Each structure stands twice: as C-alpha cells, then as structure tokens.
Amino acid sequence: MSFIKNSKDQMIITGVLFALWAFFAVRSPEAFLSASIYMTFLSTIPFIMIVATAMTLVVVTGEMDLSFASNMAMSGFVFAWTAKATGSVLLGAAAGITAGLAIGLVNGLMITWTGVPAIVATIGFDFFWRGAVMLLSGGTAIPLGMALMMDNPELAVLTGRVGGFLPMQSVWALLFAGAAALVYHRTSWGDDLRFIGDDIDVARMLGMPVSAARAGVFAFLGFAAGLAGVLATAEMGNWWPTQGEGYLLLVFASVFIGGTSVYGGKGTIWGTAVGSIMMGTIEAGIVSSGWSGFWTRFVDGLVLLLSVSFYAVAAKNKRENGANG
C-alpha cells in the first residue's frame, strides 16, 4: 500500500471524496447519514468500478475503447440466454464472461492488425455489437425467471448478500481491482503498458511486444465488460437490450478523475476506484438533495472537464519546472 501513501494526487482525490460525502451529509442528512444509501452504493457502483479498472489499463497504454457498453449488453444477453437454456446460472456466467473476453480480443486484434485508431474502430464496434444483440434478442428483455432467482446458491455467488447485507458484487469489484493493481504494479506486462503509453515508437525499437500487449489490454477490458454485464443482469434478475448505455461518461470520468493521464503512460487503480465511488455518489447526492435529476449529467460532465484540466495543467507545470531545473 506504500504506492498509495506516497502519491499526492491519490491522497487529494481521496480527500475530495470525503469532502463530497460531508457536503451531501449536510445537504441531505436523512440520506447520507443512513447506512442504507451506502448499501445501495455497494450494489450499483461495482459495475462502474470493474469496467473503469480495466479501462485504466487501456488508457495507460494510450488507447481508448468506446465499445464496452455494447459488450456489456452482449455479454449480459449471452448470460441470460444460456442460464435460461441450461438452468445453470454459473454456466451462463461463464458463457457471458467468455463472450465479453472474445469481443474484447476481436476488438484488440482488429486494432493492432489494421492500424485503425482505437477510438475510430471501437465506435464502429459499438454500433456493430449493439446492432447484433438487438437482432439476436429482437429488442426484447429476457427475465431470468423465478426458477433461477429464488433461493439459488449459484446466483448468490454472483450477487448474493454476504452476511445478509454486503452485496457480493462489491466483493467481486474489490477482488478485480486488487488483481488489476497487482498486475499493473508487479508484473512485466504492467511495465510494458506504461512504457507503450509513454512512447510507443521507443517501445517498438526496444523490441517490446507492443501488438500483443495492446491486444491483451483490449481483451482484459472485454473480460471486465463481460463480468459487469453478467453481474448487472444477475442483480436485476433481468437482461434488457439497452444494458450498458449511460456507462460511457461514468467510466471515463472515474478513470480521469482518479488521476490516470489522458495522454497515456501513467495511471492509478486506487484513483479509479475512488473516482468510481465519487461518480456513484454524485447522482445519489443530487437527487437526495432535492435538485432535479437533470443536473446529474451536467455535474458529471463538469467534474470530468475540471479533473482532466487539473491533471493536464499539473503535468504541464511539472514538465516546465523539470526543464527549468
């Protein structure tokens, strides 16, 4: 945990989160001084956190993937369809997560083999996968049904309540973030991602496996999107064709608020986790404070712009001070 304590940016963003909680506790004490709202956060924020954690590694590599929301929808569809067809939630979950991983790998291979910029390719994939899932489902929702939902120990593994109160998806999110942090900070692959994001041409000259690393990070994001899609479907007991829509801003805001550089080469899993909690808090705080829900996206966008600008200016000043020094 020393890398957390030694990071000024991460301590600042953590302090901002506590300040935000304090602000909303004053504005709406009946909500933010109640344990129930934090249990709600533990039910809903994990879906954002899982995808944002993987997106952090994508951004560190100097890439962006705008198709993950459609991946969530396709993975959730595969999960719901397979679970109903086989009567096994765990088999459905395995199929859904595998579908997400495969979609991410296809995205990554397409980008690395063709050289098409990731932001352009993934816009195309977003429409492709969303269109595909609409065709497969006929645009209709798929309820898991009472047979799979009632007292099912397999479902409890995904979204049950540990000790009768702690949502299992929050445990999965923490385990996923911890594993990602370990990979990012303690493996050669994590080192490669940072080096590629910092200067991809130098990485190629040094013989680093640039294409494999880039394809791998998109596959990793696909796995995360698949997991999030499965968990979201299991929590709701229902798959819906628009699943994942609305996550784009939340995920990228979580990544950039947390301190991951928009230019690549630098990122923080801890900061992304805090950013995810912050984004989940803002929406609930606005509504519970009596403001119109229409303010939510406005404030989310403002927070994203301010955070990106803050880190960009800080990085610029650091470079200038280094040059002058």
Higher pLDDT, 147 or 125: 125
pLDDT category at 16 given cuts 50, 70, 90 is: confident
CA distances in angstroms from 65 to 54, 56, 98, 179, listed in the order given: 10, 11, 18, 21
Q: Where are the alpha helices (DSSP H) in 237-294?
A: 247-257, 269-288
Note the pLDDT of residue 99.
98
Coil, strand or helix at 238: strand
* pLDDT value, residue 284: 86
pLDDT of residue 322: 61
* pLDDT at residue number 68: 98
**pLDDT tens for each residue of 192-239:** 999 999 999 999 999 999 999 999 999 999 999 999 999 999 999 999
Q: What token pair was written down for 206?
A: 């040094």
In degrees and rounded to multiples of 5, residue 238 shows phi and psi of: -160, 135
Average pLDDT over every residue of 81-104: 97
pLDDT given for residue 148 in this prediction: 87
- pLDDT confidence band for 302 (50 / 70 / 90): confident
Whole-number average pLDDT of the chain? 91
Backbone angles phi, psi at 161, to 5 degrees: -115, 110
What percent of the chain has pLDDT above 90?
A: 70
Q: Which residues of 51-82 are buried (b: 16+ CB within 10 A; e: fewer)?
A: bbbbbbbbbbbbbbbbbbbbbbbbbbbbbbbb
Predicted TM-score (pTM) of this structure? 0.93
Rounded CA-CA distance 198/201 in Å is 9
Q: Name the one residue in this structure whose structure tokens are 């994990």.
A: 46
Query: pLDDT tens, 166-196?
Result: 999 999 999 999 999 999 999 999 999 999 9
Rounded to 5 degrees, φ, ψ at 237 are: 70, 20
Residue 325 reports pLDDT greater than 80: no
pLDDT, position 174: 97
Q: Which two tokens stand for residue 312?
A: 């960009």
Q: Is the pLDDT reported for residue 45 higher than 90?
A: yes
The predicted model gives 289-318 an average pLDDT of 82
For the cut 80, the answer to whether the pLDDT of residue 314 exceeds it is: no
Q: What is the identity of the amino acid at 47?
A: F
Question: How many residues are present in the chain?
Answer: 325
User: E strand or H helix at 261, and its extent?
Assistant: none
